[in-house]
Copies of this chain bind each other. A is one copy, B any other.
Amino acid sequence: MTTPEAREEAVLEAVRERRERVNGAIPEELPIKRPERLYEASRYLLDAGGKRLRPTVLLATAEALADVDPLGTDYRQFPTLEGDEIDVMNAAISVEVIQSFTLIHDDIMDDDDLRRGVPAVHKEYDLETAILAGDTLYSKAFEIMLESGADADRMVDALDVLATTCTKICEGQSLDVTFEERDGVTPEEYLEMVEQKTAVLYAASACLPAILMGANDETVEALYGYGLDIGRAFQIQDDVLDLTVPSEKLGKQRGSDLVENKQTLITVHAREQGLDIVDLVDTNDVDAVTEAEIDDALAELEAVGSIDYANDKARELVEQGKDRLEVLPDNEARELLCQLADYLIERGY
């Protein structure tokens, strides 16, 4: 019987080991070349850090499918189910590059100053360069995927997933913007938005190795569903953490979502219970709010059951996601995918 702390440490170690390999591969797949300023800006956020959760999901899924020892097989010459080899690291880099492109453009849209502890790309460089860096990463993600060396039929399916995933992320981001100007968003609508904006890239990460390695449709669909489930759970947990983690640990003001009247699963649920969400916190200024005000708001949200509702929903999605992994061979990498799912909602920040 392992403690939760030991389980979390084991997951973090598994993520760390894959992150190191991913970090080593990024400069290989996205070298700084002419025009240097463009490629430096494109690499800036990728080099600034990040947990690499999506590439980790992708690599671990590949390991589970191939039924090989975790980290014991060269990702660059990875066995498929059809007897040939692919470069599964390229697929992992591709989804991380997509993630990075969306962050760069999102930061412009939200005019956020900081990301991963460093200035956002449009602050470190300028608006022009940031738009262009995002656009460059966008096509580079396709180029990098194209160099994974999969059979043409499987490659076409993989590129289809990549393209439709990008479209859905844009649709989700657009819905999110619409929600900010709208009252009466339901939990179902909120979860649909989160599915498109956040979860589809987890879904792509989980199903892409299955597609590239020649798994059957049932497996591809189950893994896509796993990604959608854990991706939504991840976002819900983010919303909970914004309220419950001390500001100094969070790296920004606790409760900033509430102050800025950002809709979350918690607030849309609370509003359905009759709570006046807009006036939960008096100020709209993150710098002016007090910890006591956030505590009061949190107590009100707890009283109408909205925190429990969000936690229950996240737990339900994680359990559903884990069940879908039954399509995979029973091995250590599958166990890691289960632990990753748990970690996404048990993590402290």
Contacts and interface: CB of A to CB of B under 8 A. Distances in A.
A137 to B, nearest CB: 9
B131 A109 contact: yes
A160 interface: yes
Assembly stoichiometry (copies): 2
Interface string A178-203: 10000000000000000000000000
A62 to B, nearest CB: 21
Interface stretch (A3-11, A151-159, A219-227, A244-252): A151-159
A178 B146 contact: no
A139 B159 contact: no
Given A35-B178, A136-B171, A156-B155, A131 B105 contact: yes
Contact of A166 (B135, B156, B163): B135
Contacts of A162: 142
A84 to B, nearest CB: 15
A142 B171 contact: no
B128 A170 contact: no
A73 interface: no
Contact of A37 (B34, B152, B174): B174
A131 B155 CA distance: 28
Interface in A99-122: 105, 108-109
Interface of A: 34-35, 37-38, 105, 108-109, 127-129, 131-132, 134-136, 138-140, 142-143, 146, 152-153, 155-156, 159-160, 162-164, 166-167, 170-171, 173-175, 177-178
8 contacts: A35-B175, A37-B178, A105-B132, A135-B170, A138-B166, A139-B166, A143-B164, A152-B152
